[in-house]
Amino acid sequence: MTDRANLEGQIAVVTGASRGIGKAIAKELAAHGATVVINYNGSEAKADEVKHEIVEKGGCAQCMQCNVADYEGCEAFIKAVIEQFGRIDILVNNAGITKDGLLMRMSEEDFSDVIDVNLKGTFHCIRFASRQMMKQRSGKIINLASVVGISGNAGQVNYAASKAGVIGMTKSMAKELANGTFPVAARPAATPIILPSAIPQSMCLSGNTFWKIAVLVAPARSASSTTRSSCSFPISTRAFP
């Protein structure tokens, strides 16, 4: 990958960044100079480990707890980020959960919990971060979806519904927000970016491995163009000028 971004001075918020894909994204953003806000819900120790790994390699990171399913909690979280850093340049809505089960046996609680985190949590963060980005007249929003949101999957009606919702929501938000001010990108919504339905944790733990996967499945789109690019996303000078 030769098309790499310099994110020096940019503030990146990554939700659900204490492990897995979120961890890999946080580490990669930090490796390119961004100051990363590592959001976590209950895994404080794991979030601290991610911060330590970033700082150990010369990067900058800060851990902040927030349950993205909590509307008022998200408002306070985004406000705290802005108060501490003065801006938000990148928002990666990665936080998500699964509570798989057959439709006829799935409880309302299991259905609602997944919707609350995966779909409403994404809305909550965009709802409050977008105001700051509008003031800045710049910013990038990346929402993680799944191929399951398009194709569906037996035993995952709640997860599929949440990710299909993220795709539709991102398309609508792009029409509202991406009017020359800043781009909204989704996997696989406003840009044609699709993640596999399942990525092994062992692969997610390596930032390099994850981004090699991303190069193959996630072409980037220019903020000023509707054409596709073969470079990686989101660590791309096209996605992050």
Enumerate the active-site residues.
159
- What is the DSSP code string of 73-119? HHHHHHHHHHHHHS---EEEE---------GGG--HHHHHHHIIIII
Q: How far apart are CA 53 and CA 70, in angstroms?
A: 28
Of 30, 204, 222, nearest to 13 by C-alpha is 30
Whose tokens are 């996630």? That residue is: 218
For residue 140 the two structure tokens come to 């990038």
Contact 48, 26 (CB under 8 A): no
For residue 232 the two structure tokens come to 């990686």
Q: How far apart are CA 38 and CA 51, in angstroms?
A: 7
User: Which residues pair with residue 90 across a beta bridge?
Assistant: 12, 140
Contact 68, 124 (CB under 8 A): yes
User: Which residues pair with residue 36 across a beta bridge?
Assistant: 12, 61
User: Which residues pair with residue 220 across a beta bridge?
Assistant: 229
